[in-house]
Structure 1
Amino acid sequence: MNRRLLSHLSISTLAALVFFATTPALAQKSIPPAKAPVSPMQMATKKLDDTTYVKVTYHSPRIQDPKTAQKRVIFGKLVPYGEVWRLGANSATELTTTGDLELAGKKLPAGTYSLFAIPQADKWTLIVNKDVGEWGAYKYNKDNDVLRVDVPATKSADTYEAFTIAFDEKGTALNFSWENTQVSVPVRPAKKG
């Protein structure tokens, strides 16, 4: 091949590459996002002091039944009174703390734990358990409880469609709200020494 033809081919090849690189491919297809989960994963976080950061990871179910779109009765029916509950949906709720905590006056060492509850109409027993990565409460083992605290359950004039876990603004309580029920667990960094 002569040099002039080779040069011409190189310029033509370069032009074609630039054209195809800057032109959207006609064969591309749009891929929709995955279907939104029925009980999406949520997090509640709070820095309580210089060494204590707390994160609660949970799945947030709704009052409305995802299959029938009907409102459900939550406490006493969907979530039975007197039975261990995963404190949300799907996998058990998990709490991680970088420093020692006091939950309702009881000391909890730094670490990652599963949270469960035993709801009653007037109080809940909050359970902190050392087993993590559990699906629901199906394999809950009471022997691995780190601590249990009883806290009052109150009725709210507001209705919480989504199960919600949140720290109050001051970081002095961890609150659980769903339907017309609210539970508040006092929380603070453990006293040093």
Structure 2
Amino acid sequence: MKKVFIIAFMALAMVFSTQAVAQDFSGIDKSPLDNASYPSDYKVSDKVVRITYGRPQLKGRALSELAPAGEVWRTGANEAPEITFYKDVNFGGKDVKAGTYALLTIPGEKEWTVILHSNLNQWGSYFYKDEASDVARVMGGVSMGDKSLEAFSVAFKEVEGGVHMVMGWDKVRVAVPIMM
């Protein structure tokens, strides 16, 4: 009798545990999160900077439609990207203390305004209203790449004395120097 009870209990537990595991999950994010850091080598624990951002896709749309000139843009998809400086740096000519900031931009034809903002955890740029919370506003020069990038991307390019944070989408490339 004891064995029958144990077997029945185990069968019942399996039924309920199967129900708990058979969970529905939403589909893959259409603009998945990514990050870029400098140095990018994962074996180096002494990072200078890391950015976490959403990667929207063009999908046949124009960049000017997705990131309109003259308007504050979330600089990616979904939440505003967060950029973390692990040490004090000079970001585009402005001294910035170590810390985490929201990264927003205002696209332009020849240069983009790149904004480090103290308000974190904001959805896109919809709640950006207060320039007083800007930590830095710098200009990033625009150049054109040879090939089109389908997904918005950020990379760091090493230069003498620091790096350039390069944002690219379609054929547009925007670079901001970061000096240590």
Segment drifting more, 33-42 vs 108-117 = 33-42
Quick one: distance in 1 between partners of 2:106 and 2:3? 75
Structure-2 residue corresponding to 1:43: 35
Identity %: 32
Q: Does the residue aligned with 1:83 lie in a helix, a strand or coil?
A: coil
Cα pair distance change 1:133/1:11, threshold 3 Å: closer
State which of 105, 119, 126 in structure 1 corresponds to 2:93: 105
Q: Give ranges in structure 2 of 5+ residues lacking alignment.
A: none
Shift of 1:54: 1.1
Quick one: distance in 1 between partners of 2:29 and 2:18? 27
Superposed CA deviations along residues 35-89 of structure 1, whole A, max 9, x for unmatched, are 110111111111499865311011110001xxxxxx00012x2211001111111
Structure-1 residue corresponding to 2:50: 55
In the alignment of these two chains, the number of paired residues is 171
Give the letter for the 2:37 counterpart.
T
Following superposition of structure 1 onto structure 2, how do residues 133-172 of structure 1 map, counting pairs within 5 Å?
Answer: 133-140=121-128, 141-169=130-158, 172=163
Tell me if the contact between 1:42 and 1:60 (Cα under 8 Å) persists in the aligned partners: yes
Q: CA RMSD in A?
A: 2.8
Q: Does the residue aligned with 2:71 lie in a helix, a strand or coil?
A: coil
With normalisation by structure 2, the TM-score equals 0.80
Tell me if the contact between 1:82 and 1:120 (Cα under 8 Å) persists in the aligned partners: yes
Q: Give ranges in structure 1 of 5+ residues lacking alignment.
A: 1-8, 65-70
Q: Does the residue aligned with 2:132 lie in a helix, a strand or coil?
A: helix
Q: Does the residue aligned with 1:135 lie in a helix, a strand or coil?
A: coil
Give the letter for the 1:173 counterpart.
H
Q: Deviation above 4 Å: which 4+ runs of structure 1?
A: 9-15, 27-33, 48-52
Quick one: distance in 2 between partners of 1:148 and 1:98? 19
Cα pair distance change 1:50/1:58, threshold 3 Å: closer
Larger radius of gyration: 1
Tell me if the contact between 1:85 and 1:117 (Cα under 8 Å) persists in the aligned partners: yes
Shift of 1:10: 8.7
State which of 184, 189, 192 in structure 1 corresponds to 2:175: 184
Quick one: distance in 2 between partners of 1:143 and 1:74? 29
